[in-house]
Amino acid sequence: MSAADVVEVVAGFSLTNRWLLYTSFMLAPAQFVSGIGNNCPSNLGFLAYNWYTQLSWYWAIKDHELHALSLLPAHFNFLFVVTYLGGVSSGNIVMAILLGLGTGGVIILNTVAAWTSWATNQPEGFGEYQFFFFGWRTLSDGWHKFFLLWQIGDSILAAVCLVAAIGIPIATWAWAKDEEDDEEMEMLVGLGKYALIPAGAALMMLIGWPLVLWTELIVQRNNIQSETDMIAVWLFVAQAGAMLLPSSSGTLGCLSFVFGRAFVEKDDLEG
């Protein structure tokens, strides 16, 4: 492929969209802490963004619109399937279960999309798609089998995370329930998410920088371009905004930060 051969793929995989995806990954620790003991549905934005991006990947794979990006799902899944668990915590047991089920659903969709990409999209790139693995490689039947091993490992990890997606929100809710009268603990949890935004992001980038580098190398080497999907952009803005709202043990109490005294703690109303 010459430098002049630009490959236009489906919208949603532009540099902006990719960096929002990386940023969402880096915010997972803060996202998890923001939901602990929090009766506001702060993690719904995280779940909505994950569902939208994964549906975008799935339909692009089904329509064979990813080109060399079809090499990425196995690599993405290995890290993102774990970070999805950052969105399962809640101070409300019903919301916690719904978040767990929703996260389990996106993990399943993630896995199905990756297998579909491996089986139907990657063979189209034999002798053409290039990727970096201790030097530049060109996709072949042999490398395709190597990705199969990777894919199997991803699926095993996804199965573990699927169980965790149900167990973690219930366990977190139970722990927060036991600590709900501890004002100091509530304050620490509330402030913890703000501290984890830079600290957690740095840790996640330390873990995930090979993902970012490998992805960007594939994009550049295969001359891939994509339009920005603005729906994904605004969903990310909503996700970040919901996470930054102050935590509240009262039902929808965090919205008082936005709407003044329209929503207040139950105890305040009784007083």
Contact 39, 250 (CB under 8 A): yes
Q: DSSP states of the chain as a string?
A: --TT--EE--TT-SHHHHHHHHHHHHTHHHHHHHHTT--S-TTHHHHHHHHHHHHHHHHHHHTT--GGGGGSHHHHHHHHHHHGGGG---SSHHHHHHHHHHHHHHHHHHHHHHHHIIIIIGGGGTTT-EEESSSEEE--HHHHHHHHHHHHHHHHHHHHHHHHHHHHHHHHHHHHHHTTT-HHHHHHHHHHHHHHHHHHHHHHHHHHHHHHHHHHHHHHHTTEE----HHHHHHHHHHHHHHHSPP-SSTTGGGHHHHTTSS--HHHHH-
Out of 39-43, 67-71, 85-89, pick the least confident.
39-43
Is the confidence at residue 188, as pLDDT, over 70? no
**Pick from 192-196, 220-224, 232-236: least confident:** 192-196
Backbone angles phi, psi at 38, to 5 degrees: -100, 120
Assign 73 a pLDDT band (cuts: 50, 70, 90).
Answer: confident
Write the pLDDT tens digit of every residue in 103-112: 999 999 989 9
pLDDT digits (tens, 9 = 90+) for 241-252: 877 777 655 555
**pLDDT tens-digit readout, 48-66:** 888 998 898 899 999 998 8
Q: What is the C-alpha to C-alpha distance for residues 167 and 183, in angstroms, rounded to an integer? A: 26
